[in-house]
Structure 1
Amino acid sequence: MIGWSRHYFADEDASFHYEVDDEGRVCRQVDLRGTDLRPLTAVIAYEKRFGVLAEGAASEEEVRACPGVEEISAGEFERVWTTAREHLERVA
């Protein structure tokens, strides 16, 4: 089953959003930073359109092992994903 989660790191003021596929691989990841939630990355594991994964992209085990990880809905992940992709395409 595909799942979605978010993890906030206060010391980095960064929020990481993950989509995990049926095989336990992180297939999409969005990293946001700051109070304005500025997109840093929005990556697709299969590198079809936007290039390589961000350095240090996490596995499902790494995501689940972090304290404070919370499950989010597919709709919430899609909103974050779409907003980040649009922003990154404009500034590229």
Structure 2
Amino acid sequence: MSMKREDVEGALLRKGFKKSNTDHSYFHFYDRSGKKTIVNTKTSFGSKYKTLGPPLISKMAKQCKLTKPLFHELVECTLSHESYEEILESAGHI
């Protein structure tokens, strides 16, 4: 299932990621205390990337240390920032 880039980026920002722009939009996850973690992902600027297809979504899910279904929950806002952070902690990523 494809997703709109703007929806994905907006969800990442709401879930504790901060954006830095270079030739891509990089998103770094910050925990509840404001500490930058090793978890990050990126999206491309190009106009052909307004919609993110399944291969890119799978790659972003992996970069975010999530399964594809959990990444969809993160974007759809059914997975909270706190729950996401707990997943990362329990897996030893932060």
- Normalised to the residue count of structure 2, the TM-score between the two structures is 0.31
Higher strand proportion (structure 1 or 2): 1
Structure (1/2) with the larger helix percentage:
2
TM-score (norm 1): 0.31
